[in-house]
Chain A
């Protein structure tokens, strides 16, 4: 396992390099003068000239990249003109809420997705299966941002069970209970699509596994159906599902952009949307880079989990 982790960490290096190059190159795609775009419309000519020099726009692309990645590695992501504070500080402040939101959505979607998929497969063509399959279909076909609006309308505006938006109540807010109260609707909304995808895949994987020879062996041993389904079949199905759960982290991080906008949840997604509206490119760049790097490591985690589940996977 140790050797595997080292190997896997080494493999991450080129991916991280690629990620940084892509993020860097987005700058090169900016139409017009990047310095002007980065500093925003109210910059003075001197500041523009100074930034042009700092960015090395008078130098080759390779030199520009080296300069940029050097700064990034030192934690200098530049300064956001729209917020007038360092990009890294802003991104770090926003990371927590996004992690909380996507983390709870991941837990919700994994638990419900796996359970729904396994139960549906166990009762194939029964009423439970049909109902779950229909729910899953609606789940994966729903625009999440629209679902968020409708949930707000029903549960916040009409029923008043949950707050309409934000992360804290304005008065006497800030406690754990308050945050969780605010978290319910956005987390459920965000989890819906992912749960559908996971449930669908779990059902298919279970049905495929149930046709394997070793399931017949398990039955020939006299094991009860419960044990055949939820021990022998489920663990094998999980091997196929875990990588997809890893991918769902990416979908959730992307989906958080909409959900944070709809619920005004103060995470990176909302920050990015505001930054794009303000054409604050450095802030966008910093946010995307940090989230992408985090995602690369989360994927590593998914690989490790899969390896623990499936003894056949060799490094």
Chain B
């Protein structure tokens, strides 16, 4: 089948630890299943002459217990029982919990409130205490322990599946199915369930390990398996009584539990990583503080062509390395900008314009990005391959950035004032009070109303336009020479966009800023920029003065971008 997840096994195999976990699990399960046919002594045969033999004794690889029973045989039969109980209990709570989570999550409203309040109530009991109470009432025994542990875990499945279902139920494809005439039941079973199934599978995988520990715990306390029946937990319980005299009787089953649960947990991690689409696109890895630079050949040290340029980028190459493939996001790109000038870099998504701008101060994520060639000079100083310290001293100080979506580029848990003030403290060593006063000045500059009060607000308390003004204040904090604005208005409404553009234009003129403005909208370039660089597929296709390019574009692609700009007063007939 050409399922949407080709090579699930290949993905799983990438996680070597998970494969090791699977191997441990396979060996234990195979040994436990085969226990009755393996050449082992009877696990319940008592040999009072051979009591408490240490491990590696003749005929008893793992020694014997206080009744002279063979530990290895008891271990395998015990593991068999523990596994069976854990798996059955997991499936029990998975079935009930998932059903509750699916129904409550899909139907919302009263069904949801009632069911999830019930689940909350079960969750209000400290874990295991409820299991203990249930066993106390039902009486000790393996079946009762199984029921108790199963019930106690229902809320975990219900909550997880509920969350996943709510996430799916709000997706457009569910609405689309409704418009296609599907009934609720059909949508739930045919459309939603397959998308929630990975979550259920992952939760099952991660729960089995807990279940083994929990049933072992109940048996350890004497509330689970009753003699002569023995699981790993009750073996440990028996061993406890004489663990000072004969530690191996307790140590062996404990180690077995540890090994088994560890195998399951490793395996579960692998299952989770395989099914989690976020991890599939390259494991969650921490982007480095600076883009890795590995120049394929020495940068051409040629002298600067434009003496007035403050920032000059030449032959820049930034490539993305994922798996075996290379994407040349920026491939031989050059541009320069002078003080007081606005340079527009225009192109569509995937043209490499943002990557080029981020490369200037090494802000492209590594992995997967890597600068493989070119030169970036700021006031004649080479930045490609410069030490992190040098770059950090320039970042937000001489060269500042404003990014696209102000709802994600500001840190949600700090006040906007703190986020501005922090920049001042970092680069100017201003004291707290001085930094705060300057912050309020800056917020005034970017036209935030009531700045002294707004400085204490968190980003979510501001409108999108105000957030972007804060981001601009942050960028201006240290009076930079160059401001790089990466689609700063794309996430905003058109009327808000107009006001932010006015602000940027005013600031550039007042302060003699070199403004690099990155956008997909040629209209914006025409409004505020002096020169323009048109990028496509990682390369520059056209460059020149804005009016010249706008009136007489040389490249077909530039023409296409210009045609997309509406003209006022030319409404269609």
Contact = CB atoms under 8 A, between A and B. Distances in A.
Interface in A208-242: 208, 210-225, 227-228, 232, 235-236, 239
Nearest to B128: A254
A16 B125 CA distance: 10
Interface string B411-445: 11110000000110011000000000000000000
B411 A288 contact: no
B460 interface: yes
A221 B254 contact: no
A223 B553 CA distance: 42
A147 B240 CA distance: 12
A211 B279 CA distance: 13
Interface string B271-306: 000000000000011110100000000000000000
A262 interface: yes
A207 B284 contact: yes
Contact of B216 (A124, A143, A204, A254): A143
Nearest to B261: A141
Contact of B413 (A147, A206, A311): A311
A255 B128 contact: yes
A137 B262 contact: yes
Contacts of A299: 124
Interface in B141-182: none
A228 B288 CA distance: 11
Interface residues of B, number: 81
A153 interface: yes
A272 B253 CA distance: 25
B196 to A, nearest CB: 21
A138 interface: yes
Given A30-B137, A138-B258, A210 B286 contact: yes
A146 B257 contact: yes
Give the interface size bracket for A toward B. Answer: 35 or more
B411 A218 contact: yes
Given A219-B363, A255-B128, A157 B222 contact: no
A250 B132 CA distance: 13
Nearest to A124: B286
By secondary structure, the B interface counts as: helix
A186 B341 CA distance: 69
A29 interface: yes
B244 A153 contact: yes
B91 interface: no
B217 to A, nearest CB: 6
Interface in B222-245: 222-223, 233, 236, 240, 243-244
Contact of A221 (B139, B140, B413, B423): B423
Interface in B102-147: 117-118, 120-140
A208 B393 CA distance: 26
Contacts of A147: 254
Interface in A172-217: 204, 206-208, 210-217
Contacts of B125: 19, 22, 250, 288, 292, 295
B401 interface: yes
Contact of B223 (A145, A210, A276, A288): A276
A221 B426 contact: yes
B363 A220 contact: yes
B133 A258 contact: no
A222 B247 contact: no
Most chain B beta carbons < 10 A, residue from A125, A138, A146, A277: A146
A255 B413 CA distance: 34
Given A254-B126, A276-B221, 6 more contacts: A143-B213, A146-B250, A213-B408, A239-B413, A288-B133, A311-B461
Interface of B: 117-118, 120-140, 209, 213, 216-217, 220-223, 233, 236, 240, 243-244, 247, 250-251, 253-254, 257-258, 261-262, 265-266, 284-287, 289, 361, 363, 365, 392-397, 400-401, 403, 405, 408-414, 422-423, 426-427, 458, 460-461, 471, 474
9 contacts: A26-B133, A140-B265, A152-B243, A216-B403, A222-B397, A223-B396, A239-B413, A253-B127, A311-B458
